Amino acid sequence: MLRPATDADRDLMLPWRNHPEVRSVSLTQHEIRPEEHAGWWKKTKSDPTRAVLIYERDGVPSGVVSFFDLDAEAGSGWWGYYLDNDGLTERGAMFPAWIAIQREAVKYARDVLKLHTLDGETLASNQSVRDFNARQKFDEVETYPREIDGVPTEVVHTRRTFEENAR
């Protein structure tokens, strides 16, 4: 289940985002400090071009979906997500949660946000996510270099089109 993130969720998100496995596949890989996170949350929660959702698995907060650069008129937006790796691994639910959060986020983008296109970026080296994106009907639009923590890194731009929401 996805629900809007609240102020009470702010401090849950930071250790999940700072998990070494999450950082290693993110476009921002430095450890995020509490004051940086608090500033991000303050700005994000009032930004109409963003939506941050908490993924709950069996009633337990277990991940974050972030939509950004939302443009209602164009029907477009970008997204990313991450999970509570430690908590889900402890409960033996990491793999099913990974599948569920993406499916629920795509459905939310289509049915709630009414997007026509949903864009994302994945490290080119993250083949498991690229394969799963392809199974979820994301097209790889282009590959380009991006500097991540001072290192040129190949990134893949993906896009999912929802014909039913075409404008």
Residue 165 has pLDDT above 70, yes or no: no
Indicate the pLDDT class of residue 28, thresholds 50, 70 and 90. confident
In 105-150 the beta strands, taken as DSSP E runs, fall at 117-123, 139-148
Residue 44: what pLDDT? 95
Residue 134 pLDDT > 80, yes or no? Answer: yes
pLDDT for 83-128, tens place per residue? 999 999 999 999 999 999 999 999 999 999 999 999 999 999 999 9
Sequence-distant (6+) residues with CB within 8 A of 27 are 121, 123, 146, 148, 155
pLDDT mean over 26-46? 93
Does residue 16 surpass a pLDDT of 80?
yes
* pLDDT, position 164: 74
Which residues are paired to 139 by β-bridges? 159
- C-alpha dihedral over 114, 2, 125, 154, to 10 degrees? 50
Q: What is the mean pLDDT of residues 12-27?
A: 92
Instruction: Assess whether pLDDT exceeds 70 at residue 166.
Output: no
**Nearest alpha-carbon partner for 97 in 56, 65, 137, 136:** 56
pLDDT confidence bin for 32, thresholds 50/70/90? very high
pLDDT mean across residues, the chain: 94
